[in-house]
Amino acid sequence: MSSALDQIFIHAKRWLLSWVAGAPNWVIQITSSLINIVALVAVFLTLFALISVLERKILARMQNRYGPNRVGPFGLFQPVADGIKMLIKEDIVPARADKVVHFLAPVVLAAVAILTLGVIPYGRNMTAFAINGGILFFFAVGSATELAVFMAGWASNNKFSMLGAMRAIAQMFSYELPLIIAVLPVVMAVGSLVPDTIITAQGEYTLGVVPRWFVFTPWGAAAFILFFVSGLVESNRTPFDVPEGESEIVAGHMTEYSGFKYATFFMAEYLGMFAVSGLAVTLFLGGWHAPVRMLEFVPSYVWFFLKLSALLFVYIWLRATLPRMRVDQMMNVAWKFMLPMAFTCVIATAVWHYAGRGLRGWLWSLFVIVVVYSAMSILLDTRRKFAPRVYRFAE
């Protein structure tokens, strides 16, 4: 019974495919891919609509106000109203803009975000594009985001857009390094770049209670934090939303976009956030595995989306709590702290592996990380007292 519920989507897909069973092989292949893509887009656009209203509700709750509560019960139909509003808005393209590139930028950005979502396993046997080297695919495709953002900034022919794009690329490049290196420990420990294999490796339970998720090892915990923070930067979310800081440069690379193109940018940002969180769940939080063996009867995709929602809640929580960081401070953290820590995680994983992957390895890798962390906190301490900021180019 529970396994039937677990595999319900797989059976549904098989049933749909049985309609074209007599067709040539390539028709079946293309139909199968199309079903995957439609399912992926449908699920994540729904999640996007849901999250956009939940985010406003949660932010409102944290700021002691009501939030959207006019459309539908508890304001739940707000995304429908927003969508209609965005669709009927005028689409303004600046006269001096490069029309083709201006149009292509949001399209490329959304396409990249959807492609990266495809390699994540959402449940048992539920990976949209099961390719050899899925993790590499994620980052390879994801790296096209920078080009899309640049296209948006350049094609708008507006100095705020250009500045925003420059800032976005600077921060994305800097944080892509710790992001990718924080993934390496997991790849090393499992010995595979396939997301499904990585999840299978986390399926057991130590002493029958504690799940063997990588976040419960010292190197895994450290890498998870690094990955999460870098992911936050990659998705341009609030503590790191320098590229679109509305108090400084209007809306960054999105300044000259209006109507549905702006909505597409917004959507791509959220889809990117889902993709990075989904990858974090896959790599460190055991993917679709249940946290306790007793609860394994609950379908696997439920666990995945529960973990994803937990991470998304942290994103929203951080947005409500933290102010925006300064550009130079952000770059300093990336190069002076995050990158060395990511390399330390790689070394700690090697130590963990060679010390026998048991309690001894656990303690040794903790030792390595603690030593490097304390050494760096002493080394990087500037002993600077907090004082009013001194401006070099203003005043």
Partner 1 sequence: MNGAVFIVISVFTLAAALAAATLPNLMHAAFCLALALLGLASFFFLLGAEFVGLALVFIYIGAVAVLIVFTILLTRRDPKEHYGLNWSGVLIALAVFAGLTWAVLKTQSLSIVPPHIRALTVKQIGQTLMTGYVWPLQCVGLLLTAALIGALVLVMEEKK
Provide the 10 A C-beta neighbour count for residue 308. 20
Residue indicated by tokens 């907090």: 386
Asked if 358 interacts with partner 1 (CB under 8 A), we say no
* Alpha carbon distances (Å) from 393 to 162, 165, 324, 330: 20, 22, 21, 20
Out of 141, 275, 285, 316, point to the residue binding partner 1 (CB under 8 A): 141
- Give whichever of 144 and 318 is closer to partner 1, judged by the CB atom: 144
Asked if 380 interacts with partner 1 (CB under 8 A), we say no
Q: Hey, which residues between 20 and 79 contact partner 1 (CB under 8 A)?
A: 26
What string of H, E and C letters represents the secondary structure of 219-276? Answer: HHHHHHHHHHHHHHHHCCCHHHCHHHCCCCCCCHHHCCCCHHHHHHHHHHHHHHHHHH
Alpha helices in 128-243 (DSSP H): 134-142, 144-155, 159-190, 195-201, 218-234
Bridge partners, residue 206, by sequence = 210
**Are 76 and 52 spatial neighbours (Cβ–Cβ below 8 Å)?**
no
Asked if 257 interacts with partner 1 (CB under 8 A), we say no
Q: Which amino acid is at 322?
A: L
Asked if 249 interacts with partner 1 (CB under 8 A), we say no
Residue 124's closest CA among 8, 255, 274, 280? Answer: 8
**Are 161 and 252 spatial neighbours (Cβ–Cβ below 8 Å)?**
yes
What's the token pair of residue 368?
């390595």
What's the token pair of residue 172?
């994305």
Out of 143, 238, 309, 332, point to the residue binding partner 1 (CB under 8 A): 143
Asked if 137 interacts with partner 1 (CB under 8 A), we say yes
Asked if 101 interacts with partner 1 (CB under 8 A), we say yes
Instruction: Give the range of 47-55, 116-124, 125-133, 211-219 binding partner 1 by CB under 8 A.
Output: 125-133
Radius of gyration of the CA atoms of the chain, in A: 23
- Give whichever of 133 and 358 is closer to partner 1, judged by the CB atom: 133
Closest distance to partner 1 from the beta carbon of 372 (Å): 19
Out of 38, 131, 314, 371, point to the residue binding partner 1 (CB under 8 A): 131
- Total binding residues for partner 1 by CB under 8 A? 24
What mask, x for binding partner 1 by CB under 8 A, covers residues 153 to 192?
Answer: -x--------------x---x-----------------xx
Instruction: Give the range of 119-127, 130-138, 195-203, 272-280 binding partner 1 by CB under 8 A.
Output: 130-138
The residue ranges that bind partner 1 (CB under 8 A) are: 26, 98, 101, 131-133, 136-137, 139-144, 146-147, 150-151, 154, 169, 173, 191-193
